[in-house]
Structure 1
Amino acid sequence: MEKKSTKIAIIGAGISGLIAAITLEKEGYAPTIYEATDAMGGRVKTDILEGYQLDHGFQVLLDAYPMAQKYLDYGQLELQKFLPGAQVFHRGKSSVIGDPLRNLSLLIPTLTSGIGTFGDKLKVLKLNALLKEKTLEGIFEEPETSTLEYLKSFNFSEEIINQFFKPFFSGIFLEPNLATSSRMFQFVYKMFGAGLAVLPKAGIGAIPNQLKQKLKATKFIFNCPVESCTDEKITLSDGKTAFFDYKIIAADASPLVPNLRKQHLDWHTSDTLYFTTEHRKINKPLIGLIADQKALINNIFFHTALETEQNGAAELLSVTVVKEHDLTEYQLVQRVKEDLEKFCGITTDRYIKHYSIKKALPKLTDIRYSLMPSETRITENMFLAGDYLLNGSLNAAMISGEMAAKGVLEVIEKR
């Protein structure tokens, strides 16, 4: 079969779908991407509102991700660096804790922060050394427990768990109890240790935008939800059908494929709210952690502490909520404003926007680092991609997209 006449559909223009398309184009194929919304990126998007850059949820890129290094041009993204630490708000006080080995300015604040015991600080060094030695594949082959159990097995004090590890990693895992796999904790911790948390100057949405620039032959069809998918055809939500030789489902496949309907995927939800303020409470590019159990808010960040492509008139603050609640938007905004004032001493000027993210991260157990191309194949002509196949990360989304495309290429080659 001629490459140009081989019809390949990709359902979903998120990161895994874009990587699948890049992999197929490299081999001379011209896939078609169906995207339910009006923009690509999936969960990785940035809106511009009143001159402010608003990411869909507070997100960072870990520049040590191997797949990000492979597929992204970091120079073109103009990555803005976070300091390797955090400002912790606890009982009306705030203190800075960080990695002084990587940024000397954090040494004195960390030593005088009063967060954790001297023994905790020694255990952090031990943890750093231990994870430095482990391979990524090795981490994902370890017995799996919860992150909380893993930290307790390291004999960290309750104080450092509650004041640092819990708020910091709850903001990454988007769940408040550190129930996430210990493998995921070790992976993310290792990535933080090997590099930095960064944000493209134009916001997190610059990542899918850059990936799209690599695509020359791929056709995009936006605002086109897919209703179902079989080996023979794709049925769109408007009832129309389209016929393809191969399909890659780079989205949650359970509602689309008849024999996967029972394999329901559960998700962590989160809320991110944006406000303007007159002053910046945290002047350096540090994430703010709220370590009070009674607070609804988990972490905050002043985006104006980094250089951004778009600049509004005031300071821009994002607030992340990971605890479950049943508040209306109005009630949530009021509660968040109260929490900001009570726990952080921050008064907001104006409420800008609320992102209620129902599918923020997949809830996963027995997580893995990678998979073989053949493992992405679910029927004769259908393949799966998405971070939910491995672990909830940009790195995993990229691996799964590449492997699904390689799965298609292997089958074409055999035929």
Structure 2
Amino acid sequence: MHDVVVIGAGLAGLRCAAVLAERGLEVVVLEAADTVGGRQRTDIVDGFRLDRGFQVLNPAYPALRRGVDLDALALRSFPVGVQVRTDRGVAAVRHPLRHPSSIARTIGSGLVSAADAVAFARWLAPAFTPRLSDRARDDRPLREAWDAAGLRGPLRTAVLEPFLAGVVAEADGVTSNAFVQELVRYFARGRPGLPAQGIAAVPAQLAARARAAGAEIRLGARAERVERDGPIVEVDVAGGEALRAGRVVVAVGPETVAELTPVPRPATNGLQTWWFAATHAPSASALLSVDGRGGGRRGPVVNTAVISHTAPSYAPAGRHLIEATCLLPRGVATAGEDEVRRHLAELWDAEVTDWQLLRRDDIPDALPTQPSPLRAPRQPRVADRVYLAGDHRDAASIQGALASGERAARAVLVDAGGVMGAAEPLRSAGLIVLQVIVSFIAYGMVVMQTLSIDGCGYRCDFTLVTVASRAALVVSVVAALVSVVIVVARGIRPSWWAPVGGIALVVVTTGIVLSAIHIATQRRAHPSTPGPERLEGIEAAPPRRGLIRPVNALTLCRREFFTCQFSNEVVG
């Protein structure tokens, strides 16, 4: 029997498996295909690297940076901008901060007016201030948000609409405005690109990390059914022996979700990518090209690019790889090769009849839909001991897939008995550090109460205030030490740590406040006097430095407990 079975070796499943295995759980990953990756696959065709559909990788994604070594991917970045076919020719709109030399040409293109620039800034500004969850409360469809911001000129119709149609896989503007704002924010902060060895390098690295942590990945193992039997979950595998586990994470594509979980099939948008090989590149530009001509869409292609300009490793020496992406709506006839070639010839203003068609990728479930209002990431737990992960549970992006895998892993770890999730070590460490800092503050208060800071002797002080503050010190130190020992020795955060830690902090903080009040009142009642203070008939012990000073003082006071006169006067 295994601790966890993860069904699906896509980005979400692999990330989930790695987090669980790194926390010491026994994990088995089942993948129906002959390789890991799910939709993130790369094939070699006639010497060309063809990803399964045109995909880019944005290094600004936080979950990507947590789970993947970006340097090892040798990312080849696209220029941050877009090339637009207009009725007057070709113009380029580039990121003004990353390509400042292009600002004059962008302004002269006629695609960005002053009114459009102001409206665009007004629309995008909220993406850099409140959290996404805050913006989602007032969410609306993208087209309505653009109308409200006053964005109606060519920047919208010729640049943003055709560019984003290929990003969100729909051209009607019904996608959540909050979601698109988040995507554009990531585009502004990062430089999307392609791994030198293809998009498959991402899941390959995730799989290597999961295996290194102890996870087992079984390829060609298709899960057919998930059934709970009390504290055990059984997974039937096609043509193989059923697996039994304490918990199961289902991290499959949208088309398979309803077969293995009680969750309905998520709605998706489709994309179609045509891959062409050419001896001569149609342009020297590496920018993504879109059709910005007026009068509506002139053809099926929403974007096209010379991939080998950005990532030369995608094509053999002396040849070029060109992608052309089209929308793939359900129930609508798709464009044929002749129509795609005609549109490409217009976009590139080049002869394309001699281009070799390498492959066409039809991906009906390319991206989950993101309608407004944008929903918060769904809870991973969909049934007792069964969890669901994937970009359809979070956001329609690589970021969403990876974050969903992490979230599912944390849910499993919490349910498995408090084993720390991905974010818990830092949170627990922060509480422990805070506990230790507050403990030292309390310790300082005890020193000030016990010792006469203006002389070298000691005062016998057994008031309720000092007893309370010293008790708070003990509680704080014990709680901190126990927490450190547990975390270091077992890597486990017990469920009682939060209340115990919180109570200890409240107690010790109260002790510090009482101590401060006590010291202040004692100062006013007993002004400092020069010279050493002595107990009657007994020489005060010489002062000692360091951590043992309060111990020395308390020992002396305990010896004289029954001879000291308990009053508010200083005993000398």
Displacement of 1:136 in angstroms is 4.0
Structure 1 259/142 Cα, relative in aligned 2: closer, same or farther at 3 Å? closer
Q: What is the aligned counterpart of 1:321 among 322, 326, 335? A: 326
Q: Secondary structure at the match of 2:105?
A: helix
Q: Does 1:286 align with 2:281?
A: no
Whether 1:254 and 2:257 are equivalent positions in the alignment is yes
Instruction: Provide structure 2 residue ranges, at least 5 long, that are not aligned to the other structure.
Output: 420-572
Kindly provide the CA deviation profile for residues 142-179 of structure 1, in whole angstroms up to 9, marking residues without a partner as x: 32211111112111124322211111111100112221
State whether structure 2 residue 360 is matched by structure 1 residue 354: yes
Q: Secondary structure at the match of 1:244?
A: strand
Judging changes above 3 Å, is the alpha-carbon distance between structure 1 residues 91 and 344 closer, same or farther for their aligned structure 2 residues? farther
Aligned to 2:426: none
Aligned residues between the structures = 402
Contact 2:179 2:370 (8 Å CA) reproduced: no
Distance 1:306 1:343, change over 3 A: closer
Query: How many Å separate the matches in 1 of 2:88 and 2:116?
Result: 23
Correspondence for 2:143 among 144, 148, 159:
148
Deviation of the 1:116 alpha carbon: 3.7
Equivalent in the alignment of 1:411:
415
1:236 aligns with 2:233: no
Q: 1:223 aligns with which of 220, 223, 230?
A: 220
Q: Partners of 2:147 and 2:374 in 1: how far apart?
A: 21
Amino acid in structure 2 at the alignment position of 1:272: T
Of residues 90-99 and 77-86 in structure 1, the stretch that sits farther from structure 2 once superposed is 90-99
CA 33–109 in structure 1, closer or farther in 2 if over 3 Å, else same: same
Structure-2 separation of matches of 1:258 and 1:353: 34
1:256-296 Cα offsets, whole Å, 9 max, x none, are: 23633xx2222111100011223333423311112241211
**Distance in 2 between residues matched to 1:35 and 1:367, nearest whole Å:** 31
For the residue of structure 2 that corresponds to 1:378, the secondary structure is strand
The Cα of 1:8 is off from its aligned counterpart by 1.2
Q: CA deviation at 1:63?
A: 1.5
Using the TM superposition, give the Cα deviation of residue 317 of structure 1 relative to its aligned residue in structure 2, in angstroms: 0.3
Q: Give the deviation of 1:128 after TM superposition.
A: 4.8
Q: Write the distance in 1 (CA, Å) between the matches of 2:261 and 2:42.
A: 33
TM-score, length-scaled by structure 2: 0.67
- Which whole-Å deviations, capped at 9, do the CAs of 1:65-124 have from their partners, x for residues lacking one? 111111121111111111111000123621101222221232122111111422112333
Kindly indicate whether the alpha-carbon contact (under 8 Å) linking 1:92 and 1:344 is maintained by their aligned counterparts in 2.
Answer: no
2:289, 2:347 within 8 Å by CA — same for their partners in 1? no
Per-residue CA deviation, residues 307-355 of structure 1 (Å, 9 max, x unaligned), is 343432411100000153424xxx6222111111134313332111100
Amino acid at match of 2:70: Y
Bigger fraction of residues in helix: 2
**For the structure 1 residues 135 and 283, does the alpha-carbon distance in structure 2 shift closer, same or farther, using more than 3 Å as the test?**
farther
Structure with the bigger RCO (C-alpha within 8 Å, sep 6+) is 1
Counterpart CA distance in 2 for 1:90 and 1:46 is 33
**Superposition deviation, residue 404 in structure 1:** 0.9
Q: Indicate the larger mover: 215-224 or 352-361.
A: 215-224
Larger radius of gyration: 2
Contact 1:9-1:248 within 8 A present in 2 as well: yes
Tell me whether 230-239 or 389-398 shows the greater mean CA deviation: 230-239
2:31 to 29, 35, 44: 35
1:14 lines up with 2:10 in the alignment: yes
Pick from 190, 215, 223 the counterpart of residue 195 of structure 1: 190
Structure 1 residue 244: deviation in Å?
Answer: 1.8
CA RMSD of aligned residues (A): 2.1
Give TM-score scaled by structure 1 length: 0.91
SS of alignment partner, residue 53 of structure 1: strand
Task: Structure 1: state its 5+ residue gaps.
Answer: none
The CA deviation string for residues 228-273 of structure 1, in whole angstroms up to 9 with x for no partner, is 212231123347532222100011363323633xx22221111000
Supply the distance in 1 between the matched residues of 2:310 and 2:44 (Cα, whole angstroms).
Answer: 16
Matched residues in 2 for 1:410 and 1:258: separation? 21
Q: Which residue of 2 aligns with 1:384?
A: 388
For 1:159, which of 137, 145, 154 is the aligned residue?
154
Q: Deviations over 1:126-153 (max 9, x none)?
A: 44544333334444x3322111111121
Aligned-pair identity (%): 24
In 2: Cα distance, 1:255 partner to 1:353 partner: 30
Q: 2:96 aligns with which of 73, 93, 100?
A: 100
In 2, are the aligned partners of 1:12 and 1:33 still within 8 Å (CA)? yes
What SS does structure 1 have at the residue aligned with 2:162? helix
Cα shift at 1:201: 1.5
State the SS of the aligned residue for 1:274.
strand
Equivalent-residue separation in structure 1 for 2:59 and 2:26 (angstroms): 30
Alpha-carbon separation, structure 2, partners of 1:274 and 1:135: 39
